Structure 1
Amino acid sequence: MNGDRLDIRAMTADDCDRVAEIRVRGWQHAYRGLVPQPYLDGLDVAADAERHRERLLRGDGRVVNLVAEADGGGLTGWAAFGPYRDGDVLTGDAELYALYLRPESVGHGVGRALLTEAVRRCSAAGHARMYLWVLEGNTRARRFYERAGFAADGGEEPFEVDGVAVPEVRYAKDLLAPRG
């Protein structure tokens, strides 16, 4: 970011193309060696943008999409969060559904800024805890979340991409101070 000011704001329909590019390039960068390369190579930015646009326009307000925008640099990151999904049941907790950055933005505070704002909003909304899922083999992301106060809580979920197992582990962070 080279000292540019970073603005965290709500995503708009006009951002969908850039968000899709961030998500696809983020997958291709972060999951290289963890997810089959033909799958990563086949990710389609235009199709992903259309899915984002549809979800945003038909959304019910429960999912919050934020973007990070640097002065002079355009969009550099995207995060989505909302109610924690335990199967088909929504709980009173929050879940970070996604956090992706342009690969060249990794390590410049963009992810930290997006995560901090997501946590702040979830805490302000009264959620006691925030969860997220991360690929078990994604050690860089796991360290990032651990530095932000999240910890693996023993939850595991099978995840498969093109017939290859890429298991996920659940991380959690308490948001509200215990009353006492």
Structure 2
Amino acid sequence: MKAEYLRTALTFRLARPDDAAEIARIHVRAWQAAYRSIFPAEFLDSLSVAKRRALWTEMIARNTPRVMLAQRNDVMLGWIAWGPSRDHDKGRTDAEIEAVYIDPAHWRQGAGRMLIDEAINAAASEGYREMTLWALEENAHGLRFYKALGFALDGVFRTERVGGCEVCETRLHMSI
């Protein structure tokens, strides 16, 4: 019952350039809340909404990746960015969720799950057959969330340097 209520209470739409400021705000707040135990506080506290706004303004204008918003009563709860896979070992029928973030004030209310469902349905309607995403190996909560949605580890890893830290990311995938 709760999920059905949330689905009817939320609206989804593609982002417009004037959404970039709110997307950036959510992006920074979600990083600061979700990754506090992974990255140094100085790095997280230095994240710039203005810089992220410029980034998202450009990406939305390019329409690559696609950015979809979840809203309730004109309040943006979160967003997802997805498009063709950027991985060299993937083909033309593979899509990738590049990012999904929910405002921490709205965590655990179903918006993330529904945004992922919307992106998967959109990708499938465009002929994609697999959806992938990358997650920090240390982000146990995120990994549990993605696995509960039906994503599985595919055994591919990469190491990135972020915020002065070396972190390992693992790729998950799902047939769609």
- Please point out which of 38, 43, 49 is paired with 2:42: 38
Are positions 1:70 and 2:72 aligned together? yes
For residue 101 of structure 1, what is the aligned residue in structure 2?
Answer: 102
Matches of 2:129 and 2:47 in 1, distance apart? Answer: 35
- State the SS of the aligned residue for 1:132: strand
The reply to whether residue 54 of structure 1 matches residue 55 of structure 2 is no
SS in 2 for 1:130: strand
Which range moves more in the overlay, 46-55 or 14-23? 46-55
2:23 aligns with 19
How many matched pairs? 171
2:170 corresponding residue in structure 1: 169
Find runs of 4+ consecutive structure 1 residues off by over 4 angstroms. Answer: 87-90
Letter in 2 for 1:45: V
Q: Which runs of 5+ in 1 are unaligned?
A: 176-180
2:159 match: 158
Show CA shifts across 1:104-130 (max 9, x none): 111000001100000111111111111
* Backbone CA RMSD of aligned residues: 1.9
Change (3 A) 1:88 1:11: farther
Segment of structure 1 superposing worse, 153-162 or 2-11: 2-11
Give the direction of change, closer, same or farther, for the CA distance of 1:54–1:112 in structure 2 (3 Å limit).
same
Contact kept in structure 2, 1:119 and 1:130, CA below 8 Å: yes
TM-score (norm 1): 0.89
With structure 2 as the length reference, what TM-score do the two structures score?
0.91
- Residues 6, 69 of structure 1: 8 Å contact kept: yes
**Once the two structures are aligned, what percentage of the paired residues are identical?**
36
1:88 is displaced (CA, Å) by: 9.9
Say if 2:92 and 2:128, in contact at 8 Å, map to a contact too: no
- Structure 1 or 2: larger helix share? 2
